Amino acid sequence: MKNFSASCRRVGGLRSVLLAALGMGILPAQAGDTLFTNSAFDADAAGWYWENWSAAGSTAEFDGTRNSPVSGGSATSGSLRLTSAFNAAEGYQQAVFTIPLPAPENFIGSIGAVTFDVKVDESSTQRLDGDYGWLEVILRQGGSWDWVGLPGTRLIESGWRRVTFQVPKDGVDSIRALTFKLGENALQGPVTLNIDNIAFTTHPEDVVISHIDNGVPGEPLEGWIWESWSAAGTATFDPADTRGRSTSGTVRLEHQFTELPNSYQQSVFTFALPAEVNAAQDFVTVNLDVRVDPASVKRASGDYGFFEVILRNGTGWDWISTQNNGSSGTRISDNDWHHLELTINPLASQVHRLTFKVGDNALLGPVILNVDNLSFTRATAAPPPPTLALTPARSGLSLVTTSTDIYGRHNIYTADPGGDPTKYSFIDSSEPVSYSFTISSFPDATAHPGFQGHIFLVPGTPGSETSPDWNQPTLIFMDIKAGTGGTGNATFRIKTDQAGGNSELYGGGEPHTVVNSATIVGTWTITGKGSVLTMTAPDGTVSDPIDIGAEAAAFFREGGSTLRVYFGAQANGDANRGQGIGVGSIQIKRGTEVLLADTFPGSELNEELWVINAAAGAVQLIPPVEAGYVARWTIPDAGFRLERAGSLRPTSWTVVDSTPVTVGQTRQVILPPTVFEGTEVYLRLNKPE
C-alpha cells in the first residue's frame, strides 16, 4: 500500500522592508494627533530657533495674526513664522529651524507620521520655476542629533495646506528635536512660511495614501477618474473634512443614478496610487472614512446601495475585492462618518489603483459620498507558511473560476464555422436548434451561493472578451444555478442593443422565465426556432414557450444570422473562487442532425470546434490515464517550491517539474500518476535559504 504525505517547511529568516511614503494628507480620523509643547502656537513660539550656520538673517518667531483654524480649536491662536533670508543666487541655499523636544522620544511602534499646516506668505519671492523651494522635516536622532530625513514637499501655492510625512520604522528610537529645512537652487529672494498645528500621529502602522488635502471646491481632483462605462458620475474636491480642518478636504463622489426600481445600476470611480505596491505582502488593510451626503436618495429598503472598494491588480487591472467583516462591500443607511478597515486579499500583489463602486438593484436617485483619509495598515507579522493538500484529480473537462475577479467569466465557445456562418443559428432555422450543456458536478449551493453556469447565444462576430453578456449589445443568456439539496434552476435572460451594460439582463429584457429541476447535475438545454425558445432541465421539466418577439429576433439576424455559442462558469462571490463545473458533454443539434458533439476525451480541446475564452488554468482537460492528484496550497507562497521524495529520510528531495496556476486563494498543479510511482511518496513545500 502506497503512503502519500504532504507537508510544508519554512527555511530562512525574514527580510525587513522599509516602506516608502505613498502620499501626504491628514491622518485617519481614528488615528489621533498628539501635539507636543506649544506646537499649536496658541500664545508664542518658545523654543524654536534658527540654525545660525544656514541662511544668514533668518528668523523663527510667533505670528499672532495668522492661524490655521481647526474645528473646536482656539479662536485666538497664532502660528510659527519662519523667515528664510535668501538672496538671489543660482547656487543652493537653505534655511534651517529647530525645536528641541522636552525629552527624547522613541517613535518606533508609537509614531506613524509628522503632520502640520503650512502657508507661504504672499510677500515671498518665487524661484524662476514658479515655486518657493523644497520643504523638509528632519527628525534629530540620538545624542549626536543625527538627521533622519522624511519625504519632502515642493511649495507652490500660497494658501494654507495640510502636509503629512511618514516616519520610518527603524532608526528613530531616540528623537530629541524636530528640524524644518527650506532649500533649493536658484532661489531669488526671501521666503516666509507660517507653520501651525504640528502633530505626531499615534497610529504608527498607517501608511498614508491620500487625504485629499488640496483642491478647488467643485473642481475635478487629480488622480481620480469616473469609469465612463458605468452610470454617470463626477469626482470633485469638497472642503468638508472629517477633522474640521480648513487645510484639508474630501473627494465628493456623485453617483448620478436615475429612478429604476426594477433594474441594476452601478457607478464606479478609480484612484491611481502614487506607486504600485505588493499589498498582500506589506499590508493587512486599506482604510478610509466615508459619509453619505444627506442629499442622496435612499432605496426603498432604507439604504443607499452596496459600496465596494476594489484593488486593481497587475497589468490586466484585475478586480480584487476587499473584505469588510467577511463581506465584499458595505451598506450605509445613515449620514454619519464611518471608518472602514478593509481586509486585503492575498492575491493582491501588484496593486496600482483603488476602485470605488456603488451599485445595486432598485436605486431611486443620486447617491453622493464623501471619502477621506485613505491609508494602508502595515503587516507587522510574517504571513503563515502555505499549507499543502492533495485530492484526486477529476478526469474530463472542468471549467474552474481561476480569475482574481469574482465576476470573471470562464468560457469555451464555438469556433466560427468557415463554410456555413449560420450553422449554429436558431433564428431562421426551419427546425428547432438545441444547445445542450451536460454538467457532471456543480458547487454546493449552501457553501457557494450564487455560483453560476451559463450558456450564451451571441449573434454576429463578437470580440475575444470573456464577458459578452456585458460587452456585446445582444445575447440570450441561460443562467444556471444550484438550489438547496442538490436541486437546480435556470433563468432565461435577454438583452438587445445594449453594448457595455447588463441592466436589461437583470431588470428589463423581459421575459425572465425560470425552469426548476430536482437535480443540478445532468443536461440543461435551450432550444430555439425563430423567435420562440424553451428551456429543458435535467429532470425533464420544460419551461413555458418564450417568445422574444419580432423586434428582438431582428437583432439576431444582424451580421448575417451568425451565432457564437458560449458554455461557461462564473464565481459571483469571494467564497466561490476556485470552484468549477465538471462538464460531461456539449451538443448542438438542428432537429435530429447533430451539428456539434464533444465528450472531451483527450488532453486538449479540439481547436476545430472550440476556442478557450477564460483566465489561465480555468479550462482543465485531463484524460483518465493522466488523472493523478491535484496539489493545492495556500498563498502567499513567495519562494516556496514543491518537492518530492520516496522516503522520510531521503538523501535528497527533488523539485517537482510543474507550473502551478492561481485558483482562488490557492496555487494548484495537476500531478500525473508518474509522480506517485513507488511504495512511498512524500511531497513538501520548501523555501530554501
On the question of pLDDT at 131 being above 90, the answer is yes
Lowest mean pLDDT among 198-212, 248-262, 408-422: 198-212
On the question of pLDDT at 439 being above 90, the answer is yes
Q: From the centroid of its chain, how far is CA 103?
A: 43
In percent, the amount of the chain with pLDDT more than 70 equals 93
Average pLDDT over residues 651-665: 84
Average pLDDT over residues 297-303: 95
User: What confidence tier does 133 reach under pLDDT thresholds 50, 70, 90?
Assistant: very high
The span from the CA of 26 to the CA of 243, in Å, is 8
The span from the CA of 411 to the CA of 612, in Å, is 6
Grid coordinates belonging to 456: 450564451
DSSP 327: B
On the question of pLDDT at 9 being above 60, the answer is no
DSSP-derived 3-state class of residue 477 = strand
- Categorise residue 421: left if φ over 0, alpha if ψ from -120 to 50, beta otherwise: alpha
User: What confidence tier does 6 reach under pLDDT thresholds 50, 70, 90?
Assistant: very low
The predicted-structure confidence for 108-129, as pLDDT tens digits, reads as follows 888 888 989 999 999 999 999 9
The predicted-structure confidence for 596-616, as pLDDT tens digits, reads as follows 999 998 888 999 999 999 988
Q: Please, are residues 263 and 507 in contact by the beta-carbon 8 Å criterion?
A: yes
User: What confidence tier does 448 reach under pLDDT thresholds 50, 70, 90?
Assistant: very high
| Cβ burial, residue 54 (10 Å; 0-12/13-18/19+) | middle
CA atoms within 13 A on the CB side of 455: 24
Lowest mean pLDDT among 49-53, 232-236, 547-551, 658-662: 658-662
Lowest mean pLDDT among 70-79, 359-368, 575-584, 652-661: 70-79
CA dihedral angle for residue 56, residue 39, residue 134, residue 139, rounded to 10 degrees: 90
Q: Please, are residues 339 and 30 in contact by the beta-carbon 8 Å criterion?
A: yes
On the question of pLDDT at 563 being above 70, the answer is yes
pLDDT of res. 410: 97
Grid coordinates belonging to 286: 486599506
On the question of pLDDT at 561 being above 90, the answer is no
pLDDT of res. 245: 73
**For the domain 33-202, what is the CATH superfamily, name and number?**
Galactose-binding domain-like (2.60.120.260)
Q: Which residues contact 627 (CB under 8 A, 6 or more apart)?
A: 392, 393, 394, 395, 673
CA dihedral angle for residue 142, residue 145, residue 151, residue 155, rounded to 10 degrees: 150
pLDDT of res. 3: 42
Q: Please, are residues 268 and 357 in contact by the beta-carbon 8 Å criterion?
A: yes
The span from the CA of 61 to the CA of 592, in Å, is 95
- The more confident residue out of 37 and 243 is 243
Q: Which residues contact 278 (CB under 8 A, 6 or more apart)?
A: 349, 350, 351
Q: Domain 405-612 carries which CATH code?
A: 2.60.120
Average pLDDT over residues 290-301: 96
pLDDT of res. 15: 22
Q: Give residue limits of the domains in the chain.
A: 33-202, 224-378, 405-612
pLDDT of res. 72: 54
Grid coordinates belonging to 687: 523555501
State the amino acid at position 222 in one-letter form: E
- The more confident residue out of 67 and 586 is 586
pLDDT of res. 510: 62
Average pLDDT over residues 44-73: 89
The predicted-structure confidence for 202-220, as pLDDT tens digits, reads as follows 777 888 888 888 788 999 9
511 preceded by a cis bond (ω within 30 of 0) = yes
The span from the CA of 47 to the CA of 101, in Å, is 9
Nearest Cα to 536, choosing from 496, 589, 598, 576? 589
The predicted-structure confidence for 64-90, as pLDDT tens digits, reads as follows 999 887 655 566 689 999 999 999 999
pLDDT of res. 37: 55
Beta-ladder partners of 370: 252, 291
220 preceded by a cis bond (ω within 30 of 0) = no
DSSP 35: -
DSSP 342: E
> Do 405-612 and 33-202 have the same topology in CATH?
yes
Instruction: For the full predicted model, state whether its pTM sits above 0.75.
Output: no
The span from the CA of 471 to the CA of 352, in Å, is 24
pLDDT of res. 525: 98
pLDDT of res. 22: 31
Rg (CA), the chain: 31
DSSP code string of 134-155: EEEEEEEETTTTEEEE---EE-
The predicted-structure confidence for 218-252, as pLDDT tens digits, reads as follows 999 999 999 998 999 999 999 888 877 777 889 99
What is the overall mean pLDDT for the chain? 88
pLDDT of res. 5: 43
Q: From the centroid of its chain, how far is CA 675?
A: 37
Beta-ladder partners of 414: 610
On the question of pLDDT at 494 being above 70, the answer is yes
Nearest Cα to 250, choosing from 267, 235, 260, 238? 238
**Is beta strand 3-10 parallel, antiparallel or unpaired with respect to 680-687?**
parallel
State the amino acid at position 403 in one-letter form: S
pLDDT of res. 27: 31
Alpha helices in 399-543 (DSSP H): 468-471, 503-506
Nearest Cα to 413, choosing from 611, 581, 583? 611
**For the domain 224-378, what is the CATH superfamily, name and number?**
Galactose-binding domain-like (2.60.120.260)
The CA-based diameter of the chain, rounded to the nearest angstrom, is 99
In percent, the amount of the chain with pLDDT more than 90 equals 62
235-244 contacts, C-beta under 8 A, 24 or more apart = 235/269, 237/212, 238/370, 240/370, 241/26, 241/372, 242/26, 242/29, 242/289, 242/337, 242/372, 242/373, 243/26, 243/29, 243/70, 243/71, 244/70, 244/71, 244/72
Phi and psi (nearest 5°) for 552? Answer: -70, -40
| Cβ burial, residue 608 (10 Å; 0-12/13-18/19+) | exposed
The span from the CA of 421 to the CA of 425, in Å, is 9
The span from the CA of 237 to the CA of 232, in Å, is 17
